[in-house]
Structure 1
Amino acid sequence: MFRRREKRFVTGFVVVQAQPGPGGAGHWHGHAFGLKGITEKLDLTAEQQAKVQPILDQAKPQIAAIHQEAMQKMHTVTNSTLSQIRPMLTADQQQKLDAIEKAHQDMLNARKQLHDTMED
């Protein structure tokens, strides 16, 4: 029973941690969480686009700030949860968890590097 819960937790941890972090993973902030896609699908005229763009531009930093704050809170909760669970794990399980965390951090670093390169 414990192993099943442990496996679900680690899986959930990986899923949660795989979410884009602040300033990372693609250009989500540039699209204001799909608002740009909506405007493209609506086939807006040039005049409509000119009116809509400033609204989208105004929303971007607000959405980015909300996203960053949420990611920081999730990171804090995840770290707290893992610090409580870690003592319950065997040495082998702790090593596996360390490897999962390292792989996740490596992925985030690679995404950030790619994002930074794309911005240049």
Structure 2
Amino acid sequence: MNNPKFFRFPFAATGDKTPLPDEGQENGTISYAEGYGFDYERNPATDPQAKRIERDKMNQLYYDITHNIRQYQLQGVPQWIDQSSNGNMPVTYQKNAMVRFKINDQQEDIYISLKDFNTDTPTDVKS
């Protein structure tokens, strides 16, 4: 059996990247919500609405994916996500979900959710 790929560094770590928007775009360009839309399927030789896949955006997509996989490979537990990273909506954690939470510059701990639908900060004793 082959060992799974270990990501020594994220894809395109030093390559050209352009951040991708989370929300869908009116002009149909790539976003995390919609991915590559129909305009990317169109034939650029015959259709003026066709969009080509941009290398820097594809690099960013693969970078984001492999960067997160690498975090799991090295830490085993994901970082706690605050609502500012989630479209200003609190992330809901289920009972027994584990997160890594940075308390200060010197201390980071792993927390386990004590309840379902948990939106509390990990340091909240009832969470």
TM-score range, shorter chain: under 0.3
Normalising to structure 1: TM-score of the pair? Answer: 0.27
Q: Which has the higher strand share?
A: 2
Higher RCO structure, 1 or 2 (CA under 8 Å, sep 6+):
1
Q: Which has the higher helix share?
A: 1
Normalising to structure 2: TM-score of the pair? Answer: 0.26
